[in-house]
A and B are shown apart, each in its own frame.
Chain A
Amino acid sequence: MNTKALETMQALLHERLGIDKDKVTIDASLEDLGIDSLMQIELLFDFEDKYKVKIPDIKEKPKTIGELLKVIEPFIPKD
């Protein structure tokens, strides 16, 4: 898991949902952070919009920040 991916997620959740960045850790539960399945879809849409990418449909729904990061990490630009 690279640091940039986590920082990207922290910034996104802070901007959209007002969640404190220090609460967004790899092991944090999405449910505990108040992120339901509908919000996950909205966040993925935001991410796609930001980086102009298309994330394929997810078969297993992520339950933690770490699992959500695994979905988006391949699409975060390297630079």
Chain B
Amino acid sequence: MKRRVAITGVGMVDPLGISIDSFFDRTIRGESSIRHYSTRDVPVPISIPAVYCANFDGDEILGKPRTISMDRFSQMGLVAAFEAWIAAGLDINDKTHKPDVGVSWGTALGGTRIYEQGLKEMWLNGRERLPPLAVVMGMNNACASHIAIQLGLGNSSLSYTVACSSSSAAIGEAYRRIRDGEANMMVAGGSDTPLIYGVIRAWDAMRVLSPGNETTSPDACRPFDRSRSGLVLGEGAAALVLEDWDHAVARNAPIIAELAGYGSNCDHTNLVKPDSAGQIAAISLALEDAGLAADEIGYINAHGTATIEGDPNEIEALRGVFGSHAENLAVSSTKSTHGHLMGASGAIEAVITILSIENGIAPPTANLKDIDPTCEGVRHIKVGDNNKFNLRTAISNSFAFGGSNAVLVFRVPQ
């Protein structure tokens, strides 16, 4: 007998630093957090549209000396995890050993920032040594480690680096741990801070970043639109508290939604070219795991990065899985407002999907005005459309470079 998995808390680092409620309100209105961002103190400056959490100050929120050994991605992740933990009715000051609670975290880049700073000092300034904390700040499992230490999570500390599917995989694997009786609770999510000079230059070299200036940057991400011109980098973190259903009921925890299914696989065809057959298989696995028929799904939070090739490919996959139901299936890509958070994308989109079914309202794809004919065949939610309906179940898709697909199915508590 598989155990049911409840979601009892969510948290995030909001791009505007206000609150999760105001973030969701803006997402529902299709208001963009994307701004024009310029690198500083670099040899050849570059400006791009991006989501930069300008108000985030880890030292101020978490306090020194806790932050001395934490890179920005760990600080953001810990703040999101704390928020989710509090929302689940738990005490962030309780560090007692909890052998039945673990953490499962996703990040694509980890502490790349600290390595770039070190390389700069060594190669440009001729320094011989790096700060002693560089290793523990830079390692990809740093954030998971900090969350486990701060909350006393003794069950497991797992980290997943699967490019843009990282945090969806982390959430899905955490779900399996609870479902299979390995843990009673898991903190799951992801964090990434890609606004680093070397990372921006690397993405720029791939020619997949959408251009923009001071005026046009908020509209730079246009998934499924005929005029789409690429993705927009963003930084941030989001976290969920997953819990065995009976465990949550027994402690009278607030159950926001059920994580009903998870599907994952690998396309193994191409490093960057998405494969609709692999995506169809991943979505089908998730539906099968949830025990749901395709026509029971009401909303898809699409991966939808606004690249020329990726968007039509995903819609093709949705048409393939959902058949005639696809025409009625509400679909949107919220990356149009919060950008592409790399390994944290799946987590922030999972939170949005959960809040969508909790509130019975689907967020729109901002900047979608002229649907590309190659992206037709589903019910695209645009800004201004009627988006309030009886949402019972919803899916969040994450499809990564390397062909790693991760699909999560959420359901209203019942």
Interface residues of A (CB under 8 A from B): 16-19, 34-35, 38-39, 41-42, 45
* Structural contact, B68 and A17, CB atoms closer than 8 A: yes
10 pairs, CB–CB < 8 Å, chain A vs chain B: A16-B64, A17-B65, A18-B63, A34-B65, A38-B132, A38-B136, A39-B65, A41-B132, A42-B68, A42-B69
* Structural contact, A42 and B131, CB atoms closer than 8 A: yes
Q: Does B133 contact A (CB under 8 A)?
A: yes
* Structural contact, B133 and A38, CB atoms closer than 8 A: yes
Chain B min CB distance to A40 (Å): 9
Contact residues of B between 65 and 114, Cβ < 8 Å to A: 65, 68-69
Q: Does B59 contact A (CB under 8 A)?
A: yes
- List the B side residues contacting A19 at CB < 8 Å: 64-65
Contact residues of B between 21 and 69, Cβ < 8 Å to A: 59, 63-65, 68-69
Chain A min CB distance to B125 (Å): 12
Q: Does B129 contact A (CB under 8 A)?
A: yes
Chain A min CB distance to B93 (Å): 15
* Structural contact, B131 and A18, CB atoms closer than 8 A: no
Interface residues of B (CB under 8 A from A): 59, 63-65, 68-69, 129, 131-133, 136
Q: Whole-angstrom distance between the alpha carbons of A41 and B133 in the complex?
A: 8
- Chain B residue with the shortest CB-CB distance to A16: B68
Q: Main SS of chain B's interface residues?
A: loop
- Chain B residue with the shortest CB-CB distance to A44: B132
Return the contact of A35 from the options B59, B65, B131, B133 (Cβ within 8 A): B65
Q: Whole-angstrom distance between the alpha carbons of A17 and B64 in the complex?
A: 5
- List the A side residues contacting B59 at CB < 8 Å: 18
Known: A42-B131, A45-B129. A18 touches B69 (CB 8 A): no
- List the B side residues contacting A45 at CB < 8 Å: 129, 131-132
Chain B min CB distance to A63 (Å): 17
* Structural contact, A39 and B129, CB atoms closer than 8 A: no
* Structural contact, B68 and A39, CB atoms closer than 8 A: yes
Q: Whole-angstrom distance between the alpha carbons of A18 and B69 in the complex?
A: 13
Q: Whole-angstrom distance between the alpha carbons of A28 and B63 in the complex?
A: 20
Q: Whole-angstrom distance between the alpha carbons of A34 and B136 in the complex?
A: 17
- List the B side residues contacting A41 at CB < 8 Å: 132-133
Q: Whole-angstrom distance between the alpha carbons of A17 and B63 in the complex?
A: 9
- List the B side residues contacting A39 at CB < 8 Å: 65, 68-69
Q: Whole-angstrom distance between the alpha carbons of A34 and B69 in the complex?
A: 12
- List the B side residues contacting A18 at CB < 8 Å: 59, 63-65
Known: A17-B65, A19-B65, A34-B65. 19 other contacts (CB 8 A): A16-B64, A16-B68, A17-B64, A17-B68, A18-B65, A19-B64, A38-B132, A38-B133, A39-B65, A39-B68, A41-B133, A42-B68, A42-B69, A42-B131, A42-B132, A42-B133, A45-B129, A45-B131, A45-B132
Q: Whole-angstrom distance between the alpha carbons of A18 and B63 in the complex?
A: 8
- List the A side residues contacting B64 at CB < 8 Å: 16-19
- List the A side residues contacting B63 at CB < 8 Å: 18
- List the B side residues contacting A16 at CB < 8 Å: 64-65, 68
- List the A side residues contacting B131 at CB < 8 Å: 42, 45
- List the A side residues contacting B129 at CB < 8 Å: 45
- List the A side residues contacting B133 at CB < 8 Å: 38, 41-42
- List the B side residues contacting A34 at CB < 8 Å: 65
- Closest 6 interchain pairs by CB? A18-B64, A17-B65, A41-B132, A17-B64, A34-B65, A42-B133
- List the A side residues contacting B65 at CB < 8 Å: 16-19, 34-35, 39
- Chain A residue with the shortest CB-CB distance to B66: A34
Q: Whole-angstrom distance between the alpha carbons of A38 and B65 in the complex?
A: 12
Q: Whole-angstrom distance between the alpha carbons of A2 and B335 in the complex?
A: 58
Q: Whole-angstrom distance between the alpha carbons of A36 and B352 in the complex?
A: 39
- Chain B residue with the shortest CB-CB distance to A35: B65
Q: Whole-angstrom distance between the alpha carbons of A29 and B133 in the complex?
A: 22
Chain A min CB distance to B60 (Å): 10
- Chain B residue with the shortest CB-CB distance to A41: B132
Q: Whole-angstrom distance between the alpha carbons of A41 and B131 in the complex?
A: 9
